[in-house]
């Protein structure tokens, strides 16, 4: 089976390509430009030559990229922007994540692909499970920001394309992904732990679900051809929920460092964070976000090949040994 992969040079993309190759699939990476294509060639040398598609927008020409593809894994997206400059952020997210995704699905159906696996986000469910059960695919969607809204709208558009064309669609909503090559907030946390920065989070008693990149890649590769996956939406995680303190201790141990966790009144933390416009960041560190993987485990028989602690330790060692370089 030939599988086309968007975002193949990205953090999850390279893991997904390797998981597909390990299952015996032929992989065609799709890249935004020549620099992305060069990264794919270096990171996944056993794949087919990458095809450059440009930006993923409402008028992208997918003809050459999807020629002969039996399935598509769609990872590329406009993700959360720290310093947003778009005049209308929701419209910017919709152009890539909604209309770009719909165009890809329509083109895949016309080109003869049988299935499209879409990587959405747990943000479709909401921002926090503090005081409520873990998120699952059975919950009513409750996205709270432009990124989450655009992902939910894309899921709805994919269902419509599938109903109209017969293209089988599979949606996976992962929580925070960890592993070697990570960026964003986890990379920033690794830097703080490595520097020995005191972190006032010793009293935080939250629970958070994460998913290792290897685990997510394994699930995506399974969803490409498992008969029971067609038309389904799945929430999934490592299966071991950690507090923020446990997360930091695991990272510190993996780097051979001491976790410098200090107690601090949560009310004071919130006042200080709000004063500096960091209330949302504090919520991510101190709030709970748990994900229920029951459906994907029971329906597909999926079991995460990597434990949460093993995956986090591997990420920490990568950072310590490679300095955060990919």
Among 59, 76, 37, 23, which residue's Cα sits nearest to residue 225? 23
Residue 64 φ/ψ, nearest 5 degrees: -70, -35
Q: List the catalytic residue out of 62, 147, 152, 319.
A: 147
Residue with tokens 């992305």: 36
Question: Is 319 labeled as catalytic in the residue annotation?
Answer: no
**What's the rounded Cα separation, in Å, for the pair 221 and 21?**
9
- Which token pair is 68? 């002969």
- Which token pair is 54? 């440009």
Buried b (16+ CB within 10 A) or exposed e, 296-312: beeebebebebebbbbb
Distances (CA, A) of 100 to 105, 153, 189, 252: 9, 12, 32, 40
Among 287, 305, 204, which residue's Cα sits nearest to residue 248? 204
Annotated catalytic sites, by residue?
147
């Amino acid at each position: 089976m030939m599988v086309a992969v968007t975002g193949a040079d990205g953090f999850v993309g390279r893991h997904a390509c390797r998981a597909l190759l390990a299952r015996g699939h032929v992989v065609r990476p799709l890249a935004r430009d020549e620099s992305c294509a060069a990264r794919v060639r270096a990171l996944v040398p056993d794949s087919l030559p990458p095809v450059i598609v440009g930006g993923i927008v409402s008028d992208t020409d997918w003809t050459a990229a999807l020629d002969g593809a039996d399935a598509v894994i769609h990872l590329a997206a406009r993700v959360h922007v720290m310093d947003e400059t778009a005049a209308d952020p929701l419209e910017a997210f919709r152009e890539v994540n909604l209309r770009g995704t719909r165009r890809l699905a329509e083109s895949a159906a016309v080109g003869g692909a049988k299935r499209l696996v879409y990587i959405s986000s747990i943000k479709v469910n909401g921002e926090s499970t503090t005081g409520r059960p873990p998120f699952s695919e059975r919950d009513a969607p409750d996205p709270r920001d432009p990124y989450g809204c655009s992902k939910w709208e894309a899921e709805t558009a994919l269902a419509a394309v599938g109903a109209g064309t017969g293209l089988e669609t599979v949606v996976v909503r992962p929580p925070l992904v960890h592993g070697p090559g990570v960026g964003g907030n986890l990379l920033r946390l690794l830097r703080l732990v490595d520097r020995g920065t005191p972190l006032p989070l010793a009293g935080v008693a939250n629970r958070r679900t994460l998913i290792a990149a290897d685990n997510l890649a394994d699930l995506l590769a399974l969803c490409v051809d498992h008969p029971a996956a067609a038309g389904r939406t799945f929430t999934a995680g490592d299966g071991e929920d950690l507090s923020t303190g446990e997360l930091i201790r695991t990272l510190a141990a993996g780097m051979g460092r001491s976790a410098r966790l200090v107690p601090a009144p949560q009310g004071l933390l919130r006042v200080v964070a709000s004063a500096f416009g960091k209330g949302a960041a504090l919520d991510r560190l101190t709030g709970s976000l748990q994900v229920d993987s029951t459906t994907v485990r029971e329906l597909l028989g999926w079991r995460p090949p990597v434990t949460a602690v093993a995956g986090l330790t591997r990420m920490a060692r990568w950072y310590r040994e490679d300095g955060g370089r990919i």
